[in-house]
Chain A
Amino acid sequence: MKKVQVSTADRTFAFELWFENDRYFVRGEGEEHVVDLTPLKNNRYSLIVDGRSYETGVEVASDGYIVFTGARSHRFIVEDYEIAQMKKQAGIDDWAREMLLTAPMPGLVLAVNCRPGDTVVKNQPLLVMEAMKMENDIKSPLTGIIRAVAVIPGQNVDKGQTLIEFEPWRNPEKPVPE
């Protein structure tokens, strides 16, 4: 039996897992499931959860897993439950370093509409990038405070390059307190 914590930037789950008679058992969030987990090609898995059949892609990232549910991807950090609790008490937050806005595509930064120290709301346009001959508003992924702006207008950026860093804040869905 192993107990783990699975977290996204704004949600946390706890699961107990064990393996018996070629089946995985999962308990957590008030439910218990019997799972047949069989790997397919290309990091895809066939799951039969209590008789319900699913197919999901799971790719290993540097610090967690990317799960493709249908057509969207979700990033998860999976860690030992006890360690997660200790980290929480110590105030260590693995998601804090995720408080970044990165370039969704390679392109040219045309304008920067925010400054360090600004409080911004989710979906507020922060930058304008030109890519594929289109001007794209790059919007804030969260409500928070800007710590640093890593690019200047006229700069060419690669996909995934950091554009903006936010002050660490555990729950990006909730407004930052005064």
Chain B
Amino acid sequence: MTTTIRKILIANRGEIAVRIARGCRDAGIISVAVYSDPDRMAYHVRVADEAYALGGTTSAESYLRQDKIIETARKCGADAIHPGYGFLAENHDFAALCRENGLIFIGPSPEVIALLGDKVQARRVAEKAGLPVVPGSVQNIEQVDVARIEAYRIGYPVLIKAAAGGGGKGMRIVNDPDGLGAALSTAASEAGSAFGDRRVYIEKYISRPRHVEIQILGDAYGNVIHLGERECSIQRRHQKVIEESPSMIVDDAMRAKMGAAAVELAKAAGYVGAGTVEFLVDENKHFYFLEVNTRLQVEHPVTEMVTGLDLVQEQFKIARGEKLSIRQEDVGRRGHAIECRIYAEDAAAGFIPCTGHLSAYQEPSGPGVRVDSGFIAGDDVPVYYDPLIAKLIVWGADRNQAIQRMRRALNEYVVQGIETTISFGRLVMDNESFISGRLSTHFIEDEFADLAESLTRSDGDIRLAAMTAALVDYRLQLRLLAVSRRAKSEENPWKISGRQAGLRKR
């Protein structure tokens, strides 16, 4: 049984809201943006067909206001809500609220989101479906004594993780029994403030793992396929910054094995929609189930580039109740894709957010280059939300060509006014370990002992920059001189002063 979707409300902002609005246009669906007060002029509001104010400033006052979003969707006559990623994307209460209000939630059912969103439960499902999991405790651990026994059983180092977690929040590595108590309480408090859920669990910490994930698609008729892997090992604060597909360590046999495992898990959970099964891969290429993300991923474009599929269109099809149009054997792979996330962050200062005004902004283009962006020149990057400005995705016939294109595109990218991760991307594209594919989630610490120093060294010619400052200053002096000479003949000091002030502003 299929249904028609005529209008979709996009409950998100930034680049993903723009991406979904474009997807709606491609499908002839009317797109509806919602926005907070600071986002009135945001790009996602301007590209959508309709836009309605949510009011408020912070996420909690705006994009997380389930009541306002549902009310807006009902008033404007939307058939469906696309949550994007982040915000309400993995909130099962919101998915349930959509259903109660006769709106299609573009994503899995509330039950599946609840099941897989809880890491402890998701682990149980994965184990039952026969997936390898990292040794550890799936119980919620509250007492230090219990944690100590568990850590002793599985062996140090151990990882404490938030049951409701994601994005590295509420996660702590513990190397010895002495650090356990403090780590347990900080992880629980961080989890509490980030997710409103203090539950944590403990598992074996795998040193130098790779992060490899499998994209899946499932329809309402029990058909599930996978679209291969993405390697997302380059992370800061346990959050991805550079992703690629295929992974250098995944060959056809391993892809088939990991893909089959992901499909098994999705079938066991009754998964409907686009999703991602994340794995850790150890140095012996053994993979372990990590978690399921029940939504579109930030890095979904690398899969789109190598498979030629449009994942947002696939989400629409599944949401309309259509059967998957492709079978596993029809999924092709061609070439290599890399994504660099362009964050408003100062990599030299430990990737701290660096928001502000984009005084100049120009995206790269040309062969094999795609930019999914939420900003244009003159925009402000607000402090209230995620500092992701854009995603730069390149495609090449092979990995070398993709790296070359990424170098070229990063050099073409102009962002003036704030620090971004563009400089970090350049550094990585020239890094020997990256080029030869030696990656782990510790890549940044391993390769750049002093990242600020590496960035300074790689950042072109400081001498040329100094010379440019001297030249611009000299040009200004010459112009001031010319004006004052001309003005002297007119003998009007007020005019001179006025002109000089005017020139300085230029």
Across the A-B interface, how many residue pairs have beta carbons closer than 8 Å?
A: 156
CA distance A11 to B459 in the complex (A): 15
CB of B423 within 8 A of CB of A70, answer yes
CA distance A29 to B194 in the complex (A): 53
B97 at the interface (CB under 8 A from A): no
CB of B465 within 8 A of CB of A2, answer no
Q: Which of A70-123 contact B (CB under 8 A)?
A: 70-74, 76, 78, 104-106, 123
Stretch from B31-39, B116-124, B330-338, B466-474 that touches the partner:
B466-474
Q: Which residues of A contact B349 (CB under 8 A)?
A: 104, 138-139, 141
B478 at the interface (CB under 8 A from A): yes
CA distance A4 to B242 in the complex (A): 42
| Distance to closest chain B CB from A133 (angstroms) | 6
| Distance to closest chain A CB from B417 (angstroms) | 8
CB of B469 within 8 A of CB of A43, answer no
CA distance A67 to B473 in the complex (A): 12
- Smallest CB gap from B478: residue in A: A19
Q: Which residues of A contact B468 (CB under 8 A)?
A: 45, 47, 54, 56, 58, 67
Partner of B470, one of A26, A49, A106: A26
- Smallest CB gap from A103: residue in B: B352
CA distance A57 to B377 in the complex (A): 14
CB of A70 within 8 A of CB of B355, answer no
**Would you give the 0/1 interface string for B472-501, flagging 1 where the beta carbon is closer than 8 Å to chain A?**
111101100000000000000000000000
Partner of B352, one of A41, A44, A138: A138
A150 at the interface (CB under 8 A from B): no
CA distance A49 to B471 in the complex (A): 11
| Distance to closest chain A CB from B382 (angstroms) | 10
CB of A70 within 8 A of CB of B419, answer no
CB of B354 within 8 A of CB of A105, answer yes
A137 at the interface (CB under 8 A from B): yes
Partner of A133, one of B193, B472, B504: B193
Q: Which residues of B contact A26 (CB under 8 A)?
A: 467, 470-471
A55 at the interface (CB under 8 A from B): yes
- Smallest CB gap from B349: residue in A: A104
Stretch from B249-257, B266-274, B408-416, B435-443 that touches the partner:
B408-416
CB of A78 within 8 A of CB of B473, answer yes
Q: Indicate whether A35 sits within 8 Å of B352 (C-beta atoms), given known contacts A71-B420, A132-B383.
A: no
- Smallest CB gap from A68: residue in B: B416
B353 at the interface (CB under 8 A from A): yes
CB of B462 within 8 A of CB of A8, answer yes
Q: Which residues of B contact A76 (CB under 8 A)?
A: 465-466, 469
Q: Which residues of A contact B411 (CB under 8 A)?
A: 70
B190 at the interface (CB under 8 A from A): yes
Does more than half of chain A's interface fall in helix, strand or loop, or is it mixed?
strand
CB of B469 within 8 A of CB of A2, answer no
Q: Indicate whether A78 sits within 8 Å of B237 (C-beta atoms), given known contacts A105-B355, A132-B383, A132-B387.
A: no
CB of A159 within 8 A of CB of B423, answer no
| Distance to closest chain A CB from B505 (angstroms) | 9
**Would you give the 0/1 interface string for B336-374, flagging 1 where the beta carbon is closer than 8 Å to chain A?**
000000000010111011111001100000000000000
Partner of B466, one of A8, A60, A70, A123: A8
CA distance A74 to B413 in the complex (A): 17
CB of A70 within 8 A of CB of B459, answer yes
CB of B383 within 8 A of CB of A71, answer no
CA distance A65 to B469 in the complex (A): 6
| Distance to closest chain A CB from B55 (angstroms) | 21
Q: Which residues of A contact B415 (CB under 8 A)?
A: 71
Give the interface centre of B352, B386, B464 by most chain A CB atoms within 10 Å: B352
- Smallest CB gap from B452: residue in A: A123
CB of A17 within 8 A of CB of B471, answer yes
Partner of B474, one of A13, A17, A28, A45: A17
- Smallest CB gap from A131: residue in B: B353
CA distance A169 to B383 in the complex (A): 33
Q: Which residues of A contact B423 (CB under 8 A)?
A: 70-72
- Smallest CB gap from A64: residue in B: B469
Q: Indicate whether A24 sits within 8 Å of B471 (C-beta atoms), given known contacts A56-B465, A74-B465, A104-B349.
A: yes
Give the interface centre of A2, A56, A131 by most chain B CB atoms within 10 Å: A56
CA distance A105 to B386 in the complex (A): 13
A161 at the interface (CB under 8 A from B): no
Q: Indicate whether A43 sits within 8 Å of B359 (C-beta atoms), given known contacts A71-B419, A105-B354.
A: yes
**Would you give the 0/1 interface string for B163-175, flagging 1 where the beta carbon is closer than 8 Å to chain A?**
0000001000000
| Distance to closest chain B CB from A65 (angstroms) | 4
CA distance A43 to B462 in the complex (A): 19
Q: Which residues of B contact A71 (CB under 8 A)?
A: 410, 413, 415, 419-420, 422-423, 426
CB of B360 within 8 A of CB of A43, answer yes
Listed A/B pairs (29) with beta-carbon separation below 8 Å: A13-B467, A15-B470, A17-B471, A17-B474, A26-B470, A33-B467, A37-B475, A44-B414, A44-B416, A49-B467, A57-B359, A57-B360, A59-B416, A65-B473, A69-B460, A69-B464, A72-B423, A72-B459, A76-B465, A78-B470, A104-B346, A104-B352, A104-B353, A104-B354, A105-B383, A132-B387, A134-B237, A136-B353, A138-B349
Pairs A-B, 10 closest by C-beta atoms: A71-B422, A42-B360, A76-B469, A57-B416, A78-B473, A6-B466, A65-B469, A71-B423, A67-B465, A13-B466
